[in-house]
Structure 1
Amino acid sequence: MSDQPTQTQESKPDGQRFYHAQTGYQLILSLSKDEMECRAHLEVKTDGTPPTRDELLGYLAADGITTGIDEEAIPLLLREARPGKSANGLLAAGIQPILGDDGKLAFSFDTADQPPAETTADEDPEKRQIDFRAVQKFINADADQEIGRILPPTNGTPGKTVRGKPVPSEAGKPLMLKLGQNVRSGGDNNDILFAEIHGRVKQEGDTINIVEEYVVDGNVDFGVGNIRFNGFVEVRGDVLDGFQVSASKGLKITGNVGACRLISHGNIEFCGMDGQGQGKGSILCGGSITAHFIHDSAVECWGNMLVDVELRNCSIHCRGSLITGVLAGGDCVTLAGLEVKKLGAPSAVKTVVHSGVDYHDLDRMQILLEQLDELQQQITKTKDLQEITTLTEKKQQLARVIVDVRAHRPAGSNPKINIKDRIHEGVTIYLGDAVEEFATELSGPISLIENSRDGGLRRLSLNSLEILASDLEKAWLENDEQERQERLKQEAAEREAAEAEAQQALDEAEQAEPAAEPPAPD
């Protein structure tokens, strides 16, 4: 029998068959209809031997199979094809075409939907702290900021059959994106998106918007995380301890706030804040604050404050007016006046109140006084006359600055306190240059202003907080001067009347005196 192989070819509905017959074996190569697969069936006779690797590669090449040959499948097939046995295997697979990417929106900044951020960079991984509150899931945008670009679809990558024929790929689909509220397109191809206002990016279906409001329908907790939003935030629940909510255009919380930090350029409204005695609650507000109560917290407010129930053990810095029910403990600085039902507490808790002054001026004054004290200590310690002269000049300059700061009365200043019920002992009040420490309880209702003439505080009948202390003091002084002038006039009139009466009495006495009789003749 000849050792030359016999080769035949046969077409089938599902592809082609290539038969390679040899003395000791028969090899059938099956090519799929789309020419993306080539499978082998190898039968070895009982007294035969399988082909070698090179012979098998030669059969593949002879049938045009040149692409996607599996180099590991060939030895595996040959090992399984023992004498009297048969083996099957996939010897070659074509390269599938890769579908083109669909068009998409590529944001121009990192999204906030990232894993929790590490708050410390300690080299020891065990000592690193993870901030699990950093889970914000929306993107902030500023007005005129580029928020993203629309990327066109790609054509994809062609494939290849096992015979090396190209297989065309399909292009991706273009992004069908609609521009919603406060979004505009630009660029040469109108493929760049810009925000028209400050807000957050919100994509609903095929529409992208910039919205000014972010609503949390529940509590701010670890599921929501810290909030930093360029717009208005409404929380329909509580803000739990340790979280921060920052909203540039305003903040409304229907529930209570724990030991948290609230920040807004606009107004802030909430039910109550309790720093839990830790003083960890804080508020920074560029507008007005409305609440029922605030405990153990630090508050900085550039507008008016209305806390209708109480403020306890707080540090209040307010550049507007403050109206509250009870103010007890801590310190309070208001620029436009204070109106309170009860000031202090029956326990005589220390409560310090400044009204009519900007807290920035107070902070600066404290720094200047510390510098002045330091200069005085240097003057006391040194014995060098030249140094004493230099330090004394600096002290005098600093003293002049202190006088200017102390005399500064910014716009809106109203050094006035309205007491509707009472002032408890333990309260210290600063109004202008006047200061008074209350060692006993003082009952209201009264209005307190500075007594610019005699020093101390002037007690007036309760009047509206909108009436400026300066107008009240001016009116009081004018009225007092008018009364003084009237008293002087009355006293002068009374003197004139008394003098006239005395003169009249004298005249009458002279007229009533009898004429002297002539002397009798001798």
Structure 2
Amino acid sequence: MKFNVIYSNPYIQLVEKDDGFYIESFKKGYTLEELNQTLIDFPQVKITNFLSLKRAVMNAPQFLIKFGEVRERVEVEISSDHLKGYVTLYVPEAELIGARRKQTIMEITEALQKKGIVYGIKQDVLLMDLKPKVKILIAEGKLPVDGKNSIIKMYEITEPKPEITEDGTVNHYELNLINKVSKGDWLGERIDATPGEPGKSILGETIPAKPGKQFPLYYDKHSVEEVYDEEKGITTLIAKKTGAVFYRQEVIYVYDCLEIEGSVSFDTGNINFDGFVNIKGSIEDNFSVEAKNDIQVMGVMGVGSVEKIKSRDGCIYIRGGIAGKNKAHLYCKQDLYTKFASECTIECEETVHIGFYAINCNIKAKQVIFESRSSRIIGGNIDAEIKVVANEVGNRSEIPTNINIQGFNRKELKERLDEINKSIQEINDQLIEFKHKIAIYAGSENLSEQQQFEYKKISNQFQEVKETLKHLQSERKKHISYLRTKGEGEISISGQVHGNTTLTLKKITKRITNDIKGPVTYYVMDNELICE
């Protein structure tokens, strides 16, 4: 049997046999601290029984007692995910310098090969200063890079917002109500999801990457088509016809848009169209235009004594203004925008926006807002539910001018807003559930016919819920705006109120007999008319 004394002094000796390491003590006087210091010089010793060492030192003399085993000179450890490999050297420090270092490095290389480590070996580490009993990162695999989700950009419909320019000579009231596109115009695009880049373990195993998600494009196939560029990996949506862009349940459409190059006249006849109407000129006297969606009249001269302009579901924009000659009648489901209004009747279920002035008009709407800082209401009757905002009311000639605010119940409006907020929260929770279900189906490659049916059904429900959310958010925005109104109905005048003006708020009437300098605001609170 192999018997080799690797260390000896007057107190102890350390012996290596075939089955491990032994200690023999001769006399007391040697401490455990000194023994630990001695063992540092023998990294090949793996202590398996510390109590044996302690007994040999503390109870000397003691015959040969086994306390350790031979440790591998090069110990290799692989992480559980096979992405990192570590090496710890249990060799004397003398073997890590000079000519003997080369042999130790060969041992490291062989140990790595034996463990199957073939990728990501850090050769630079082998050139560094190596230390015994120090765990070193010797190999590192490559993590997979997940693919990127597809990127979608869509045509944006901007909210109508008038731009007013007053330079002393020309007053402009610019707005683009209809989002018109021509056949072949860009409507959106999707950059393909990427498959990702696979990784590799230190054992040479391929680690698959998670591909990015390819999100669907929602579009009306009758009015929109997709064109795919395989080289660039981009799907582009283009208009199949000239028309107006419109979204419904996140689906983009190009609705029919009737475009009149000149004016509505004997050449065109009266217009009644189930879509959008864009008139580049004007509408001649006694003619009428009716449409399902938005109507815009872009001529700088505006319109005169037209028979009727009516949008059943949309907005109306008269760029040049209305000179109605006590005949013109305009109606719209949503908002109306015009530069000025004179001697006409306007009925609007939402807000009437007027740039500069209204003279002898009959206007009925939820709100009537005059945009310009020099705006005026002269004569006529303004009937609003929530609010009227203008700069000047009446004139020096004291033409009778009437403004009536029907008013609203603030408590009921606030309760409705609370209901809307609650519904929005509930819908957001539903959307999270829908997204989770859709993600499960979208992540499955082979769906049965029944699963495909369920996937389509859930996707349609998801779009319907999103559309409901969109309407609720729009309604919330309006209610928040209404609740900013003072009291339960407001008339706000920033400049001046002239005599012979009658202001009525929730059936409480105030007749102005003498001019009043503004800014002044009238509103009703607890059935009392307040002036600030």
The answer to whether the superposition gives a TM-score over 0.5 is no
* TM-score (structure 2 length as normaliser): 0.36
Bigger Rg over Cα: 1
* TM-score (structure 1 length as normaliser): 0.37
